[in-house]
């Protein structure tokens, strides 16, 4: 029998397995019954893998490998996004370094430069995905700027335009003065900043009750140049007398009205709110309601436009200082307060966004919202964890028309054509060069579409739509979308709207939201902070399997998780990651245990597994339970539980116990040795299959050497150990018996370790069984327990008393007493038990506090509450046992 090398070398093994999978063409859509098609959230073409990508891709690959082994028709669709702003910014910087400005070379040459960049760097992240072992279909990559994809994007725009869902209008948008483009509301990043609240005096045109001016409070004095009104709350009756009056706006000498509006908060500032309809969305809405003029005072770089004297040409910051100085000089600065407020920033650069009145293209979402909402409320689409359902529904309920135009060159150009001679305009699937109305030359809209507009088609535009929709048959809706919570609105919702509109079906059945991975100190990982972890560094240091397995253990219902990694503060390089190192130890454990089994197969011939004793019955039953829990766990996206169950079975039950139980039989001869070999191979083979989706490399490499008898060319193509097929092995009595065997032996070994008693020193043990049945089960395994625990004898009964000078341990409801007379300092033992009791008391108080919280009892699921009650009862039982032990030791 071919053996494994002594040490596991992740680098060489992982590369050889990658070569095998790709050469075998195993990543393509596999035949089978049922479907598991998944589309990868397309990473930016210019990006590099970060920990969010690594977790996302690990989860997806676990799902795909699982369903492939279950005989489903699986395909993982791979691709990248053209990332309009991101790519344009990078190419701009590259050209600037060469002394080139894109406006000098023009649109066409700049787009050529973007394509050059894409071809040079676009495949980098896909190679990283491949290195992780992700079994995506690399033979058929997609890109949101490919010709077929571009056709799908154009059809979407034209159809929605013709159906009245796309329109052009002049409205407030979030404008980035650095990128010089509109930014979606959902892409704006809010940062808390220390600022001021300036109280400015606006002179009344005519005095009111002897008052010559009112005081407005604002965080942005610079926008007062565009004020066209002052608003008060209709509930602030002290200001009723001012409604209908006017003020003379300082500096510009503009007469503007005072009016009441429900939007105004009477408690904010002075109660008088300056209204600048062209530079605030709420002011814009008030301007619409009260027919106010909309005056845009900034240009596209956020500098004051001409017509404002000394202030013209100033930046926002310069204008602010100058206006405050002007008000102070003219005796109109009432006072200033410290005031912290949240400021919108561009997600691609550090610039503060400017609410800016601009003509843009919008999608009217009202008609799209209903079907997209019903898709979730009906249960057709399920969110995991479930709490994200309400986040989606709340966002959908408050959804406003979507600004889809971006003032960029790189991207899908808006397919609308204009004739400046006669005023004709229309959207078209084909370029229009000549006006169909007057014959004059036409021009195309200069703007491009928001990146999310194109990516909303991802599940079906990558599968043949619109030209060959038959390719989607049986593969759409897709199985699951695995993504981050921060793009539920940006992407998930829009995919649902687009799919329900064009296909009249949902794009996916499940939305799996993974936790945000934070740095070790709880802050967000970022390049600027130098606290980000490069997954490739983890793979180089620990191997892909170790990184993948550790990431899966982090998948819980938590919203955020901290990644255990230490980063060099100077070089920003990875020092170590203790949890990933622990995962590597597990990979090595799998390798070494498998190596032990394979090295003991001399004389092996294939045959069926068979129960020859309680240890076999126990491990087969535990294997059946593992198959059930792992299958259900992956089906319900509980990957943290899956990882923990796999680790517990392989490391503790298989390696620590069953292999040890088997050693005596392996040293025997004839049928006894052969049967334990067959049993070991059977358990190892099935355990490797269950481990494979999470740890593909090491399991594939071992499985090549295991005499499994499967005709599959690779483990990833082998059959899954279905729970129904293993159910015949379930044996509660065997699990109970061997659970107590392991528990008693562990308790004795723990006592030896705690008190430094030699393993050669035989001990006498008394077991007080919980029931007569337990007493019989333990007695049946007497020889095994006495051998493994090295006992001079063992007494078992339901009414056994605690021997004098003995240490007690609770095992599966039974009390195990190790007689230590003459071997142990009992005072020290009593002190230890007192400390343990104090620790237990804190745990009990913590659970009691939770169970006495009305809010928790009202919101928690009944089964969770019952679990906590059971835990409380168990803790109290342990506490009572400790109390009796301490009393006896006194």
C-alpha span between 20 and 368 (Å, rounded) = 46
Give, for 391, the enclosing helix (H) or strand (E). helix 388-397
CA distance 167 to 762: 87
Helices (H) and strands (E) in the chain, counts: 29, 31
Q: Name beta bridge partners: 444.
A: 417
The span from the first CA to the last CA of the chain, in angstroms, equals 59
Q: Which of 632, 718, 692 is nearest to 70 (CA)?
A: 718
CA distance 317 to 310: 14
For residue 319, the Cα-to-chain-centroid distance in whole angstroms is 42
Residue 532's pLDDT is 87
Which CATH number is associated with domain 731-824?
3.30.2320
From residue 667, alpha-carbon distances to 8, 515, 601, 671, 673 in Å are 26, 49, 11, 12, 7
The structure tokens 């355990």 sit at 687
Is 527 one of the annotated binding-site residues?
yes
Mean pLDDT by 10 residues, the chain (890 residues): 84 96 92 89 84 96 97 94 89 91 92 91 87 95 96 98 96 85 76 87 94 93 95 93 95 95 87 93 92 93 93 95 96 91 77 88 96 97 96 92 93 97 97 96 96 96 95 94 92 97 98 93 81 92 98 90 90 92 97 96 95 95 98 97 97 95 91 96 98 98 94 96 97 93 93 86 94 92 92 94 87 91 80 89 90 84 81 88 71
Sign of the torsion formed by the C-alpha atoms of 68, 70, 72 and 73: positive
CA 335 – CA 341 distance, rounded (Å): 18
Other beta carbons within 10 Å of 581: 14
What pLDDT score was predicted for residue 186?
65
Residue-range domain boundaries for the chain: 181-354, 731-824, 825-890
For every residue of 83-121, DSSP letters joined together read: -HHHHHHHHHHHHHHTT--HHHH-HHHHHHHHHHHHHHH
Helix (H) or strand (E) segment spanning residue 740: helix 732-755
Q: Are 171 and 362 within 8 A, CB to CB?
A: yes
Fold category of 181-354 in CATH: Isoleucyl-tRNA Synthetase; domain 2 (3.90.740)
Here the tokens at position 317 are 């910051």
pLDDT for 349 equals 76
Name the token pair of 164. 């009245």
- Token pair, residue 198, equals 């300036």
| Confidence (pLDDT) at 822 | 85
Give the whole-angstrom CA distance, residue 153 versus residue 142.
Answer: 14
Q: How many residues does the chain have?
A: 890
Q: Quick one: tokens of 67? A: 């369903």
Distance CA 169, CA 294 (A): 14
What is the C-alpha to C-alpha distance for residues 693 and 644, in angstroms, rounded to an integer?
14
**What is the SS3 assignment for 859?**
helix
Q: Which residues pair with 173 in a beta bridge?
A: 356
- Rounded to whole angstroms, how far apart are CA atoms 177 and 302? 6
What are φ and ψ of residue 51, in 5° steps?
Answer: -65, -30
| Pair 641, 746: CB distance under 8 Å | no
Q: Say what the pLDDT of residue 888 is.
A: 56
Reduced to 3 states (helix: H, G, I; strand: E, B; else coil), residue 792 is strand
Same fold, 181-354 and 731-824: no
Strand partners, 573: none
Alpha-carbon torsion (59, 124, 581, 577), positive or negative: negative
The rounded radius of gyration (Å) of the Cα atoms in the chain is 35
CA–CA distances in Å: residue 633 to residues 178, 271, 645, 685, 694: 47, 56, 10, 20, 12
In the block, residue with structure tokens 């997209």: 372
Cis omega (within 30 of 0) for bond into 477: yes
CATH label, 825-890, candidates 2.30.30, 1.10.287, 3.90.700, 3.40.1350: 1.10.287
């Amino acid at each position: 029998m071919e053996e494994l090398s002594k040490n596991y070398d992740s680098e060489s093994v992982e590369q050889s397995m990658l070569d095998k999978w790709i050469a075998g063409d195993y990543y393509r859509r596999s035949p089978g019954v049922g479907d598991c098609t998944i589309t990868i959230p397309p990473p930016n073409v210019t990006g590099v893998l970060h920990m969010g990508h690594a977790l996302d891709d690990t989860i997806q690959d676990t799902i795909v490998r699982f369903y492939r082994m279950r005989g489903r028709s699986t395909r993982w669709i791979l691709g990248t996004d053209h990332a309009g702003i991101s790519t344009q910014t990078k190419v701009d910087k590259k050209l600037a370094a060469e002394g080139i400005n894109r406006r000098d070379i023009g649109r066409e040459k700049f787009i050529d430069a973007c394509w050059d960049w894409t071809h040079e760097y676009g495949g980098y992240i896909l190679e990283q995905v491949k290195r992780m072992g992700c079994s995506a279909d690399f033979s058929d990559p997609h890109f949101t700027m490919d010709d077929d994809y571009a056709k799908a994007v154009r059809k979407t725009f034209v159809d929605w335009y013709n159906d009245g869902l796309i329109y052009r209008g002049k409205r407030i948008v979030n404008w980035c003065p650095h990128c010089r483009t509109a930014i979606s509301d959902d892409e704006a990043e809010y940062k808390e900043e220390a600022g001021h609240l300036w109280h400015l005096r606006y002179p009344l045109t005519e005095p009111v009750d002897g008052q010559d001016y009112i005081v407005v409070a604002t965080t942005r004095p610079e926008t007062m140049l565009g004020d066209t009104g002052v608003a008060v709350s209709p509930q602030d009756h002290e200001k009723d007398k001012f409604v209908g009056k006017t003020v003379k706006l300082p500096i510009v000498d503009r007469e503007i009205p005072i009016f009441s509006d429900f939007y105004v908060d009477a408690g904010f500032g002075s109660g008088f709110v300056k209204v600048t309809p062209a530079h605030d969305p709420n002011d814009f809405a008030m301007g619409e309601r009260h027919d106010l003029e909309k005056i845009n005072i900034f240009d596209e770089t956020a500098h004051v436009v001409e017509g404002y004297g000394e202030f013209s040409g100033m930046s926002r910051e310069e204008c602010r200082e100058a206006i405050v100085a002007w008000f102070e000089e003219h005796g109109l600065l009432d006072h200033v307060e410290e005031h912290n407020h949240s400021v919108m920033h561009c997600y691609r650069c550090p610039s503060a966004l400017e609410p800016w009145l601009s003509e843009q293209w919008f999608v009217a979402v009202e008609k799209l919202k209903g079907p997209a909402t019903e898709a979730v409320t009906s249960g057709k689409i399920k969110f995991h964890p479930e709490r994200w359902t309400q986040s989606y529904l709340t966002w959908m309920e408050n959804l406003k028309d979507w600004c889809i135009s971006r003032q960029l060159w790189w991207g899908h150009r808006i397919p609308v054509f204009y004739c400046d001679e006669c005023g004709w305009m229309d959207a078209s699937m084909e370029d229009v060069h000549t006006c169909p109305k007057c014959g004059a030359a036409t021009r195309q809209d200069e703007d491009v579409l928001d990146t999310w507009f194109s990516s909303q088609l991802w599940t079906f535009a990558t599968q043949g739509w619109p030209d060959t929709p038959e390719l989607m048959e049986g593969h759409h809706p897709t199985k699951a979308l695995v993504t981050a919570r921060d793009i539920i609105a940006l992407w998930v919702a829009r995919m649902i709207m687009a799919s329900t509109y064009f296909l009249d079906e949902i794009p996916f059945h499940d939305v799996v939201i993974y936790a945000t991975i934070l740095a070790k100190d709880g802050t967000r990982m970022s390049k600027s902070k130098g606290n980000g972890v490069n997954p490739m560094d983890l793979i180089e240091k620990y191997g892909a399997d170790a990184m993948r397995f550790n990431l899966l253990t982090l998948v819980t219902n938590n919203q955020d998780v901290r990644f255990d990694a230490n980063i060099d503060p100077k070089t920003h390089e990875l020092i170590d990651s203790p949890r990933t190192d622990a995962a590597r130890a597990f990979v090595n454990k799998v390798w070494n245990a498998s190596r032990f089994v394979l090295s003991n197969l001399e004389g092996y011939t294939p045959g069926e597994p068979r129960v020859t004793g309680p240890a076999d019955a126990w491990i087969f039953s535990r294997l059946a339970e593992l198959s059930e829990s792992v299958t259900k766990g992956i089906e319900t996206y509980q990957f943290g539980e899956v990882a923990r169950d796999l680790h517990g079975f392989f490391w503790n039950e298989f390696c620590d116990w069953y292999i040890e139980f088997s050693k005596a039989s392996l040293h025997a001869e004839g049928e006894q040795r052969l049967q334990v070999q067959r049993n070991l191979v059977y358990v190892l083979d099935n355990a490797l299959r269950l481990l494979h989706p999470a740890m593909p490399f090491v399991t594939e490499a071992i499985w090549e050497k295991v005499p499994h008898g499967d005709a599959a060319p690779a483990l990833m193509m082998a059959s899954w150990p279905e729970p129904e097929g293993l159910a015949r092995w379930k044996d509660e009595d065997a699990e109970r018996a061997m659970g107590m065997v392991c528990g008693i032996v562990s308790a004795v070994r723990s006592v030896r370790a705690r008190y430094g008693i030699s393993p050669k020193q035989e001990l006498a043990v008394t077991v007080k069984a919980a029931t007569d049945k337990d007493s019989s089960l333990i007695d049946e395994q007497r020889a095994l327990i006495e051998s493994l625990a090295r006992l001079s004898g063992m007494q078992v009964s339901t009414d056994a008393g605690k021997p004098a000078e003995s240490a007690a341990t609770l095992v599966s409801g039974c009390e195990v007493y190790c007689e230590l007379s003459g071997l142990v300092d009992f005072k020290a033992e009593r002190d230890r038990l007192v400390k343990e009791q104090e620790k237990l008391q804190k745990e009990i108080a913590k659970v009691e506090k939770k169970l006495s919280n009305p809010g928790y009892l009202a919101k928690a699921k009944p089964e969770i509450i019952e679990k906590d009650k059971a835990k409380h009862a168990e803790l109290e039982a342990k506490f009572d046992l400790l109390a009796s032990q301490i009393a006896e030791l006194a």
